[in-house]
């Protein structure tokens, strides 16, 4: 059963609005909040395991802190921001495989996008104002993480340059 002409027109209008507000995709505001303020969604041997008990997957004091599981496949399948702990009835999920962005506010779906196609978007200030505030925090967190990673990235770049120069010397006798 297809969409009516009227519904298609509404979808088009909402897609334009979502694009203008920079909500669309993993790199948009919603995806950024899920990525930089959320927790990884982990699938463990078929089931989904909530990883909220781990503060941050990227900063381990040492490898021994990693959860050990024998012969179980642990895979990060997405990112999830849950605002309940900070008194917001807002949840943002991004699932990698389906490229699915899903936002729930007070238990209702207010935004749903799959692989760049909009399947629902109910814009209203109550939840959108929260998005704006959270996006500012997400950008700050991203910047902080980039600054922390900078020395490592610089080191990798330098090593790659060295390897390339060495390769050229060996190959061409420069």
* Distances from the Cα of 129 to the Cα of 82, 85, 142, angstroms: 16, 18, 20
Residue 26 in contact with residue 99, Cβ under 8 Å?
yes
What are residue 163's phi and psi, to 5 degrees? -60, -40
Q: Tokens 């088009």 — which residue? A: 12
Rounded-to-integer distance, Cα 95 and Cα 101, Å: 7
Residue 161 in contact with residue 155, Cβ under 8 Å?
no
> pLDDT at position 54, please?
46
pTM, full prediction: 0.72
Per-residue model confidence as pLDDT tens for the chain (174 residues):
678 999 999 999 999 999 999 999 999 999 999 999 999 998 876 555 555 444 444 444 455 555 555 445 688 999 999 999 889 999 999 999 999 999 999 999 999 999 999 999 999 999 999 999 999 999 999 999 989 888 888 888 888 888 888 888 888 887
> pLDDT at position 170, please?
86
What are the tokens at 53? Answer: 């008990």
Q: What is the CA radius of gyration of the chain?
A: 21
> pLDDT at position 43, please?
82
> pLDDT at position 55, please?
45
What are the tokens at 2? Answer: 């297809």
Residue 83 in contact with residue 52, Cβ under 8 Å?
no
Each domain of the chain, given as residue ranges in start order, spans 5-142
């Amino acid at each position: 059963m297809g969409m009516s002409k009227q519904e298609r027109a509404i979808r088009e209008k909402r897609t334009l609005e979502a694009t203008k507000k920079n909500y669309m995709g993993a790199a948009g505001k919603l995806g950024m909040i899920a990525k930089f303020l959320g927790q990884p969604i982990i699938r463990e041997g078929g089931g989904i395991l909530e990883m909220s008990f781990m503060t941050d997957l990227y900063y381990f004091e040492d490898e021994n802190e990693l959860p050990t599981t024998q012969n179980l496949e642990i895979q990060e399948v997405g990112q999830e921001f849950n605002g309940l702990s900070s008194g917001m009835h807002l949840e943002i999920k991004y699932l990698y495989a389906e490229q699915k962005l899903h936002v729930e506010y007070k238990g209702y779906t207010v935004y749903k996008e799959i692989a760049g196609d909009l399947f629902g978007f109910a814009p209203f200030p109550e939840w959108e104002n929260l998005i704006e505030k959270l996006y500012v925090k997400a950008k700050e967190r991203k910047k902080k993480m980039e600054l922390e990673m900078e020395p490592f990235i610089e080191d990798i770049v330098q090593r790659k340059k060295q390897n390339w120069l060495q390769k050229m010397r060996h190959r061409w006798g420069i």
